[in-house]
């Protein structure tokens, strides 16, 4: 059974790569159609996958307490891990170039995450507060545990079977459905292997042809009720 899942996963990885290659060829006027467009992914059993729909995102953000809301928003807009978010320092945020640098403490390697317009506005607002950390507690230190607050927000939002880590799945699902290639998604999520990336893909509809630069979904326009509702389909570099 384990071997069967491995084989199915490998086939799906290669199929996803083929789709991305042909989508890119169409974008570059090297092909007129994608021959694997309607080829369905193989079913992979015993694989837990949970991501939020747009109405669930709206409810979750609305029900988060003030300290937790920006943490959830950055997770939805960057796919960063909880630990990476809680320990994020301003020295790793470049508002001039709109880039977040996530440092791997084990290898000292950095990955770059683009900051979209929603996230930029939030970070500019947060920057008015002093301190080294982007999301500090009352003592100016990073939060040690946000599970209680997150569980409460999930319960109030009537969302079931959802963990904080699944916010990464939600971010990745939007990239997949926009036709972003797996290699780019791998780099944004900080996965060591492409196999890890394929595990967070969703049972998506046929992805649209999209430039790999137009990749960052925008979540969090619900923070400003005065602003006109922004579609998830709006992307920035």
Q: Which residue has the higher pLDDT, 50 or 98?
A: 98
- Judge whether 109 lies within some domain: yes
- Judge whether 97 lies within some domain: yes
State yes or no: pLDDT of 100 exceeds 70: yes
- Judge whether 83 lies within some domain: yes
- Judge whether 205 lies within some domain: no
pLDDT band at 109 (very low <50, low <70, confident <90, very high): confident
Answer whether 150's CB lies under 8 Å from 180's CB.
Answer: no
Residue 140 neighbours by CB under 8 Å, 6+ apart = 131, 132, 133
Residue 203 and residue 178: Cα distance in Å, rounded?
A: 13
- Judge whether 142 lies within some domain: yes
- Judge whether 199 lies within some domain: no
- Judge whether 126 lies within some domain: yes
State yes or no: pLDDT of 163 exceeds 50: yes
Answer whether 88's CB lies under 8 Å from 134's CB.
Answer: yes
Asked which of 1-15, 90-104, 132-146, 180-194 is least confident by mean pLDDT, the reply is 1-15
State yes or no: pLDDT of 31 exceeds 50: yes
Of 39-53, 169-183, 212-226, where does the model show the most confidence? 169-183
State yes or no: pLDDT of 7 exceeds 70: no
Q: Per residue in 58-83, pLDDT tens? A: 999 999 999 999 999 999 999 999 99
What pLDDT is recorded for position 216? 57
Give the count of domains, the chain. Answer: 1
Mean of the per-residue pLDDT values for the chain? 79
pTM over 0.85: no
- Judge whether 195 lies within some domain: no
What is the per-residue DSSP string for 134-160? SSB-TTSSB-S--HHHHHHHHHHTT--
What CATH number does residue 83 fall under? 1.10.443.10
Answer whether 143's CB lies under 8 Å from 79's CB.
Answer: no
> Containing domain of residue 147, as a range?
54-167+215-223
What pLDDT is recorded for position 42? 75
What pLDDT is recorded for position 210? 45
pLDDT band at 149 (very low <50, low <70, confident <90, very high): very high
Sheet containing strand 93-94, edge to edge, reads 93-94, 99-103, 110-114
């Amino acid at each position: 059974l384990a071997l069967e899942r491995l084989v199915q996963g490998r086939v799906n990885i290669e199929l996803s790569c083929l789709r991305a290659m042909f989508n890119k060829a169409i974008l570059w006027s090297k092909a007129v159609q994608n021959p694997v467009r309607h080829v369905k992914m193989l079913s992979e059993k015993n694989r837990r996958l949970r991501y939020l729909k747009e109405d669930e995102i709206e409810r979750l953000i609305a029900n988060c307490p003030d300290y937790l809301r920006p943490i959830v928003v950055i997770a939805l807009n960057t796919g960063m891990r909880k630990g990476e978010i809680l320990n994020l320092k301003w020295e790793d945020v470049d508002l001039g170039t709109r880039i977040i640098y996530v440092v791997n403490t084990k290898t000292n390697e950095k990955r770059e995450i683009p900051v979209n317009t929603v996230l930029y506005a939030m970070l500019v607002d947060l920057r008015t507060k002093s301190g080294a950390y982007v999301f500090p507690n009352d003592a100016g230190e990073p939060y040690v545990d946000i599970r209680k607050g997150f569980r409460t927000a999930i319960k109030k939002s009537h969302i079931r079977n959802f963990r904080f880590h699944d916010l990464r799945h939600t971010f990745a699902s939007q990239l997949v459905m926009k036709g972003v290639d797996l290699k780019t998604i791998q780099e944004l999520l900080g996965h060591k292997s492409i196999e890890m990336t394929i595990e967070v893909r969703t049972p998506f509809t046929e992805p649209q042809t999209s430039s790999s630069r137009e990749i960052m979904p925008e979540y969090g326009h619900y923070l400003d009720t005065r602003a006109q509702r922004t579609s998830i389909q709006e992307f920035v570099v």
